[in-house]
Structure 1
């Protein structure tokens, strides 16, 4: 096995251990995740993410098996790392490489975590529209994360292969992100609604599968009179997966603007995703208080898109990964700051959890 394969397998085993711990501890005694539980899990995942950052700045060169100056030059060239090696000094050069690798991971992590906030808002809309009981949120989000890991893995490594073969795809990604950012900015005040009757996933499921009309506890499937049917809860899971797929189209190219190393893109992406579930329970009830956050995310996407379109000029000007991180944190920090300083006087929409009975479905 190559170093990359061993590193990746070890990482995946570690991630699934965290998810198993999440499922066993947070959902063992109570099916409803409390704010305290979500806060502890969020803190735990963030600490693990920072520990992985320390691993990268210390042992990052082992990821690609760098043991010589020639190998280091090859990896830097193939992944376009902005690292200047020191001729004749392999140890110091590796140290600079590891520091940059850690910084790329950290920047990608912040970008993905930030873009996940908009994903949370849509999830709240989905759960509310379909009348999902609070105690079933954790189950849907847990299996949704597992599906997201598989999809992100495919997306990232296919995307990396395309970028390596067709460099012009970076410009396509950049233009798409600028377009998405402008569209998000223009639609910032529009009311988002979920049409449960005419949702494409609902129509698809009703056409090709047997769909039960009511929730049955936390079950995804139910057998009635010998006929196996999918429940509305499984429909919601499918919609959550489809939503994540749509968001991945934005977030994954955004991280490729930070690093071309698919492993670093994957690591930062997955750590942000596993933190998404616990962050959902913290932010879902207060997300409308951050009125300028969507504007901040729109500006963030536009910035990243422009960075991809003009990356050659930025490299010539000395615009580094550190500068990108400062700009990204600055955009997010200002949007949160202005949201707290200038809150809405009257909420335009009230998104509340729906604790209704399991056997009630509103579509």
Structure 2
């Protein structure tokens, strides 16, 4: 695998991630079930974003020492672009987590533990997928075009299916578990399995964790190919992915209840995926610089958030207007009767 990173750089990154997880879990009480406050979530969100920013600065310094400023500039741009892509796609993942928690009525004090286990599983799954992806690209260059076609198709599907929420009751994992396992109707703390009258039962906690892991696997199928449009360096791909995943858990508790305020974000993500896929497909004839990609992704997300907020404000203003209660159809019917 072709990468500029040395063994000490890999080791330093793993020490950083494991050290931060240790502080979160064992020092600040993360291993105890508790409701995550907005203040705590904001603190950890800013912590991971700051660490990502500082990592980019450290990356520039290390690469500049070894290969010069131009090479350092290129690698840092790749890292920040990959991080932004992965973080934005993770936001969509976060809203699906919210639906899972709502469907299974996960108590607020258990949601943190579910996401912690989900993050740890996601790190292992994405590491394996990145290794496979890098190997495939190194052996078969045409795989990049397969990724490009896949991303374009996925983006188009997201544009036209963004209004369709998944029906969790028909999810094959849920149906299989309900058909083949005894599941307790109530949560049993953080336990996955319990014995009742000598029989072994799974708990809803077990089902929820499996659903979260499966969801992340599905989203990783989109996000991993997306970053290969920016770089095929496994160090950049892996580090940008991990920083985005680690920040997702805290970001969930900040934004999960605000899905209605990001109505157009899914459309923005669809455009981002289609753009990245198209970039991969036209690469032999037209090279899109990394800073163009970073600007395009950032601008698309920024505009989608602005439009979402404008829509939310218009809806709130319409509700506050006297005589505007009810649905548009009800108001139209009332006007006709008048």
Structure-2-length-normalised TM-score: 0.86
Alignment deviations for residues 91-142 of structure 1 (CA, whole Å, 9 cap, x no partner): xx52211221111000000000001111011111111111111111000000
Q: Judging changes above 3 Å, is the alpha-carbon distance between structure 1 residues 28 and 150 closer, same or farther for their aligned structure 2 residues?
A: closer
Kindly indicate whether the alpha-carbon contact (under 8 Å) linking 1:129 and 1:194 is maintained by their aligned counterparts in 2: no
RMSD over equivalenced CA pairs, Å: 2.0
Specify every segment of 5 or more residues in structure 1 that has no aligned partner in the other structure, as ranges: 67-92, 347-363
Task: Tell me the alpha carbon deviations over residues 44-63 of structure 1, each in whole angstroms, 9 at most, x when there is no partner.
Answer: 1111111110111011378x
- Structure 1 Cα separation of the partners of residues 53 and 282 of structure 2: 30
CA distance in 1, matches of 2:174, 2:307: 39
2:318 is the alignment partner of 1:345: no
Q: Does the CA-based 8 Å contact 1:125-1:194 persist in structure 2?
A: no
Aligned twin of 2:325: none
Corresponding residue for residue 251 of structure 2: 279
Aligned to 2:109: 135
CA displacement, residues 11-45 of structure 1 (integer Å, 9 cap, x when unaligned)? 22321221222223153677000111000110011
Q: 1:260 aligns with which of 225, 228, 232?
A: 232
Per-residue deviation, 1:206: 4.3
Call closer, same or farther: CA 1:233–1:194 in 2, change over 3 Å. Answer: farther
Does structure 1 retain, via aligned residues, the 8 Å contact 2:87–2:245?
A: yes
Compute the displacement of 1:189 (Å). 2.3
User: How far 1:3 sits from its partner (Å)?
Assistant: 6.1
1:195 equivalent in alignment to 2:168: yes
Please give the secondary structure, in 1, of the residue aligned with 2:315: coil
Correspondence list, 1:281-360, <5 A: 281-315=253-287, 319-343=288-312, 345=315
- Give the aligned partner of residue 55 of structure 1: 58
Contact map agreement 1:26 1:33 (CA 8 A) in 2: no
1:42 & 1:23 partners in 2: Cα distance?
A: 15
Determine helix, strand or coil for the equivalent of 1:229.
Answer: strand
SS in 1 for 2:168: coil
Equivalent residue number for residue 19 of structure 1: 21
Task: State whether residues 31 and 113 of structure 2, in contact with CA within 8 Å, keep that contact through their aligned partners in structure 1.
Answer: no
Q: Secondary structure at the match of 1:284?
A: helix
- Aligned residues, how many? 311
* 2:336 corresponding residue in structure 1: none
**Does residue 219 of structure 1 match 2:191?**
yes
Residue 288 of structure 1: how far off its partner (Å) = 1.2
Q: Which residue of 102, 108, 111 maps to 2:82?
A: 108
Do residues 230 (structure 1) and 202 (structure 2) align?
A: yes
Return closer, same or farther for 1:127/1:303 CA change in 2, 3 Å cut-off: same
Counterparts of 2:178 and 2:40, CA distance in 1 = 36
Q: Which structure carries more helix by proportion? A: 2
In structure 2, the residue matched to 1:80 is none
Written as runs of structure 1 = structure 2, the 5 A alignment for 1:83-232 is 93-190=67-164, 192-196=165-169, 198-206=170-178, 209-232=181-204
Q: How far apart in 2 are the matches of 1:3 and 1:177? A: 28
